[in-house]
Amino acid sequence: MSTNLPNCYKCTHYFITYEPAKPYGCRAMRFKSNRNPARVVYESSGIICQLFTPKKKIKPDGSGGGGFSRTA
C-alpha cells in the first residue's frame, strides 16, 4: 500500500537533534526518532500526520519571514 506522507523537511515542526541514536525530531508531537517523524506517526497510528505546517518561503528580496528590519 502506497501512502503519500507529508515531507517532514518542509515542516516548521521538524528539527535535527544532536543525538546520534535519534537524529530527527518533531516539536509538535514532542518526540525524537531514528526515522522520519511522519513515517513513525503513520506506522504507530495508521493516520497521516495532522500537524504538518509548511515552512514559510523567503522571498528573494529578503522579506517574508519576519525577523529584523534594515530601516533606520
Q: How confident is the model at residue 61 (pLDDT cuts 50, 70, 90)?
A: confident
Q: Is residue 14 part of a domain?
A: yes
Banded pLDDT at 48 (limits 50, 70, 90): very high
Please calculate the CA angle 66-68-71 and round it to the nearest 5 degrees: 120
Position 8, amino acid: C
Q: Which three cell numbers stand for residue 46?
A: 495508521
Amino acid at position 53, single letter = T
Question: Residue 3: what pLDDT?
Answer: 77
Q: Tell me what the pLDDT averaged over the chain comes to.
A: 87
Residue 59 pLDDT level (bands cut at 50, 70, 90): confident
Number of domain units in the chain: 1
β-pair partners for 15? 25
Mean pLDDT score, 35-52: 95
Q: Residue 18: which domain range?
A: 8-45
Q: Could you tell me the three cell numbers for 35?
A: 526515522
pLDDT at residue 2 is higher than 80:
no
37 lies in a domain? yes
